[in-house]
Structure 1
Amino acid sequence: MGKIVMSGPQNVSLDGVVQDPDGAEGFELGGWFTRFGGADLAEWSEIALAEALRATAWLLGRRSYEFFGTRWQPRSGELADRLNSMPKYVVSASLEEPDWGNTTVLRGDAVTEVTKLKEELDGEIVVPASHRLGRTLIEHDLVDEVRLVVFPVVLGTGERFFGEAFGRKPLRLVESRTIGAGLAFLTYEFVHDA
């Protein structure tokens, strides 16, 4: 049985905003990833590589799939090579022809399809950046672990990692450490029996 991990790592502001970290979406407070990550991003990249190397597969929503595919397909290097070759599963009703190698489109009900995927695969199924898909999976108790990189900035507004749609979800801190001088890397597992 697979383990679903929200990571990649999952980047959030101190107040939980995940919206437009690279500034490409046009959000007025976007671009906080490089602006507030600074010199710590080299060490962040090492963590991203380690996560990709140990992942069995990536699970994405369509928008994140298109973003990452556009970003990583033309690149080379250890991280790009891993992301371009690893199995990728995309939950989408509208994606017709996936153009990023080793991609399978999961059509139909997201919860049903991901439940089947979790039963079929062994190892970590990493959900990077797809916070909308992640919320659905969390709501249905399909996510086992969340790995957050907290950036030292409060944005005050923007789309947050955890929405208000679902109730209380207890978690247990598994690991905490710093990345460089300013980023916090936090790993939580969901407590499904609480």
Structure 2
Amino acid sequence: MFTLSDRLEEDIEIEGKYYPINLFFDVVLRFFDLMDDENFFDSDKIEIAFEMLVGTEKDFEFETKYKAVQAIVTSLIIGVENKQKKSSGESSDKKIYYDLKQDAEYIYASFMQEYGIDLIDQQGSLRWEKFKALLSGMRDTTKFKEIVGIRAAKLPTGKGTEEERKRLKELKEMYALNKDQKSREEELDYMFNKLAGGN
């Protein structure tokens, strides 16, 4: 969970020793790309993810790597607050109206517009937690938030709304996501559960 009172986690304990973690936003985005890549088996994804996220060349058993990746994803990438909501019975069915890959140009432009931050220059520097906080804090006047608003908007009904309805429908088609978005939490939970069953 992102707080202003604690420092960001810099390392992870594995078998009694601490190793640095790489949680820059660009590393996490590459991790998501890896998870979406159907050319790799889930076990291969864990091996590669461990190399990406944990700064050590020391070799560990697969089970250890699996647990380390799961811990990083659960507590730092997805966030424990999502897990707490799920366990307390709160709805996690919130529809997702953006895709970090498909909307990359809009996100880049909106970071420049809102904060004067060049995300290309921030690779290897800006932490994932800060990136998420800045992304969610953007004003509706940014291109990214405008597009998310269009996707989330309900088509108007009633007399006199035909033109408005037609225009919104066109905008929805123009900015439609390439595929239905499942939550990252759902996808990653599925993968971890499948691997846990096979271990």
Using the size of structure 2 for normalisation, the TM-score is 0.22
Structure possessing the higher relative contact order (Cα contacts under 8 Å, 6 or more residues apart): 1
- Higher-Rg member (1/2): 2
Q: 1 or 2, which has the higher helix percentage?
A: 2
Q: 1 or 2, which has the higher strand percentage?
A: 1
